[in-house]
Amino acid sequence: MTAATAGSTPSIGYDDTPVLPGQEWRVHDGRRPQPRVVTPPPAGEPLPPPSDAVVLFDGTDLSQWKGADGDAQWPLGGGYMEVAPGTGGIETREQFGDCQLHLEWAAPGEVKGDSQGRGNSGVFLLGKYEIQVLDGYDNPTYADGITAAIYGQYPPLVNACRKPGEWQTYDIFFVAPRFNGKKLESPAYVTVIHNGVLVHHHQALMGPTGHRTVSSYDIPHPPTGPLALQDHGDLVRYRNIWIRELTDYDAG
């Protein structure tokens, strides 16, 4: 297969976006092959945090989080928080850099919409680098926007989604980019395990996440930033979020 060309009409995605560097596919290319579907192990009880983890959300309060205009406005119930569409995303009050992140999420059990309009949210490392949250169970969409994709850059190695309404896990290992002044010394790297299945292995990122654009490191930024969760208008739930700082990691 080749990348979509201008004037063609893929059923999903886009055919008028830039070609990704080193790839034959455009950003959000509707013709990019879909990740192979695998069946993950059954959902279990929440994974307790290790002793050195910073617990960002234990189901009881949102004191560690803030919204664009103050306190986070997402409602709590049943040990989880739920996106409140229209209130905007939320982010941690504390800043993090290299880290191991664990979180659990669930798309709505009642299926509404399709493609990017179904159970959509996102996890942003440093507030800039997105791992896609989406109900990707039997839901075709452009490959670099499916569940657990490094959004707009790389599809997951496989699609390990559970059914709508079931709890899913992300274990993310992130290394922040390093800059020397305005010069990039090393890119960000990410490893992602979705429902116990490896879907990205020490993948170098092209730059901060964008939409319909090729990412780049044109603007240097600090080595730390907030963890952010996206309000994309869908009632996605989150629970059991904890993070471990990897202060001794060598990015090289």
Please list the pLDDT of the chain residue by residue as tens digits (252 residues): 233 443 334 578 988 898 998 889 898 888 998 888 988 877 877 878 999 999 999 999 999 999 988 999 999 999 999 999 999 999 999 999 999 999 999 999 989 888 988 999 999 999 999 999 999 999 999 999 999 999 999 999 999 999 999 999 999 999 999 999 999 999 999 999 999 999 999 999 999 999 888 889 999 999 999 999 999 989 999 999 999 999 765 554
Q: Is the whole-model pTM more than 0.85? A: yes
Domains of the chain and any CATH numbers: 1-33 (no CATH), 36-245 (2.60.120.560)
Token code pair at residue 201: 């292995």
User: Which residue intervals of 8-130 are DSSP H helices?
Assistant: none
Contact yes or no for 229/84 (Cβ under 8 A): no
Interatomic CA distance for residues 118 and 133, integer angstroms: 10
Residue 213 near residue 20 (C-beta atoms within 8 A): no
Pair 29, 4: CB distance under 8 Å: yes
